[in-house]
Amino acid sequence: MKKYLLAASFILFGTILALAQEQPIQQQQSAQSKTGPQSIKNNIHSGFYLKVGGSFAVGKFASTTTYYYNYKTYKDTITYYKAKIGPALELGWLIYIGPAFAGNHIRAGIDATFLTMSFNPTDPLLAPDVSASKKLEYYYYFAGQKFGPLLTINPVDYLMIDLSYKLNATAAWYHSMWGSSYTLNEVSLGLRYRVMLFAFQYNWGKVKFTYNQGDNPQYWVDYSTFRIIMGLKF
């Protein structure tokens, strides 16, 4: 319940901040319109976005890693199978702070992704008669939030180029193991035209998984992905 209240607070804060920024910008546009026909309208505005796409495993996340550990009187292994392409979903808000500059062609703000979810399937070495639900246990599941600085360039008309860097806090699950990380990174290049958007993202960092045994061994697993996503910005 606390997580839902925190997310709702972020959304409410972002909405208030975005609306507060729009009024002085509109006043600035009104003043500019009086200077002559060559004044350029500011088309860079805050708003909510929805993105969906594919998450491609890269680096060590795309390879299988096996760890050995001592459990009671014998040695055991835990295998993190290589990840494959999976779906990704993002819900967030572009929050612009202050007026646009460079003739209303550039504006800075915050890219706040209030919810990001994804999963990546694997090919575990299981018996042929294993059920589909058992195979789902060997998928990597991720859910979290990410925030960071944003720079939007409006070269012409309603075409927008979004450049951002975000820090990602995520919770993860894989084969009866819970994981977490607060230091994942992302760089993103996005293209928008009116409400349509298209983006490329590169995510990197490690997630710490805790194995569900009495001694609770922990392992850091690389989580590097390249995402191609598309969606809407309102």
The average pLDDT across 23-47 equals 60
Tally of domains within the chain: 1
Residue 47 buriedness (CB in 10 A; 0-12 / 13-18 / 19+): middle
Smallest CA-to-CA distance from 108 within 118, 121, 117, 99 is with 99
The predicted-structure confidence for 82-94, as pLDDT tens digits, reads as follows 999 999 999 999 9
Domain holding 218: CATH number? 2.40.128
Residue with the bigger pLDDT between 75 and 192: it is: 192
- Of the pLDDT bands very low, low, confident and very high (cuts 50, 70, 90), residue 8 is very low
**pLDDT over threshold 70, residue 11:** no
Highest mean pLDDT among 121-125, 173-177, 227-231: 227-231
User: Element (H or E) spanning 160, and its range?
Assistant: strand 159-174
pTM of the model: 0.78
Confidence (pLDDT) at 23:
45
Local confidence band at 5 (pLDDT 50, 70, 90 cut-offs): very low
Give the other-Cβ count within 10 Å of 65's Cβ: 14
Owning domain of residue 88: 2-233
- What gap in Å lies between CA 52 and CA 17, rounded to an integer? 26
pLDDT band at residue 67 under the 50/70/90 scheme: confident
Which of 44, 45, 168, 146 shows the shortest CA–CA distance to 92?
146
